[in-house]
Structure 1
Amino acid sequence: MNSTTTPEQIVTDFLHALEAKDHDKIATLLAPDLQYTNVSLPTMIGGQRVANLFELLLRKGTGFSVKIHGLAANGDTVMTERTDIIRVGTLHVAFWVCGTFQVRNGQIILWRDYFDWLDISRGTVRGIIGIVLPKFRAGFF
């Protein structure tokens, strides 16, 4: 991290790298000892392992979009409140996420996302409806 790059910028750059499917940047921003947790699911250890997972998930025909509603930082800890959209073909699933990130030496060492399974279920139902009726497809306006 150079003297002008803040933890907030590292996290924002990372989320936008996911959107852009910039796998090199994703791998660069994740520390070798990263701990990645979607709360209620098992924790993954290792930045390259997580980068490989996203390279597999974000292949042709799939995508990720993010809208950051709020971002706060305290030292090297950054919290985001956001809406994520996962796209698989014409299925677009939008859901609310609160993420906690810790940054050290320009890399993310901790990424913990909190979400609500009911919200994901609602997003999935809306996504299925959006396949048939595209005006209901999740997106950012």
Structure 2
Amino acid sequence: MSETPGAASSTPPVEVVRAFLSALERLDIDEALAYAADDVVYQNVPVKPARGKRAFEKQMRFMAKYGSGFEARLHHIAADGPIVLTERTDVLAAGPWKAEFWVCGTFEVREGKIVLWRDYFDWTTVLAASARGGARAVVSTIRARLGR
């Protein structure tokens, strides 16, 4: 009998978060959602949080629809009971555009499900990474059209 992802409350919270991020990296939104509690709260500080699985799902499906890739390069991960802290570099991609930026995340895991995912990052760094990604995308598109 196979287990539903995140269903085992005996799964250490760090492993739930690792598996969740891995599912997002594969853009497997259904698997990622299996790790989320019905009352999950997701927030990119200071943006208003998405509350509940339906609002969370909407944001994750938007990412998968308009993005072509996501990577969470974990630098550090630590747990204190149900709280998991991550320090990572996130990489977002959409076609030739790619942005990499530093993120600290807080997850709370209850009974094998994520009830809170809150990310903190510097918006200026994200905007700069987005601009660099856009410039690289334009250059690569021009080079491709010129056959270089």
Fold agreement, TM-score > 0.5: yes
Partner of 1:9: 15
Q: Cα offset for 1:78?
A: 0.1
Max Rg structure: 2
Partner of 2:70: 64
Partner of 2:40: 34
Does the 8 Å CA contact 2:84/2:107 hold for their aligned counterparts?
yes
One of 104, 114, 117 as aligned partner of 2:120 = 114
One of 90, 103, 108 as aligned partner of 1:102 = 108
Count how many residue pairs are aligned between Structure 1 and Structure 2: 134
Partner of 1:138: none
Does the 8 Å CA contact 1:30/1:48 hold for their aligned counterparts?
no
Q: Cα offset for 1:133?
A: 5.2
- In angstroms, what is the RMSD of aligned CA positions? 1.7
Does the 8 Å CA contact 1:100/1:111 hold for their aligned counterparts?
yes
**SS, match of residue 40 in structure 1:** coil
Does the 8 Å CA contact 1:30/1:51 hold for their aligned counterparts?
no
Q: Which runs of 5+ in 1 are unaligned?
A: 135-141
Q: Which runs of 5+ in 2 are unaligned?
A: 1-6, 142-148
Query: What code does the residue aligned with 1:125 have?
Result: A
Q: State the percentage of identical aligned residues.
A: 40
Does the 8 Å CA contact 2:10/2:112 hold for their aligned counterparts?
no
Partner of 1:46: 52
Residue-by-residue CA offset, 1:74-132 (whole Å, 9 max, x unaligned): 00000000011111110001111100000001100011100101110221122123221
Partner of 1:76: 82
* TM-score with structure 2 setting the length: 0.83
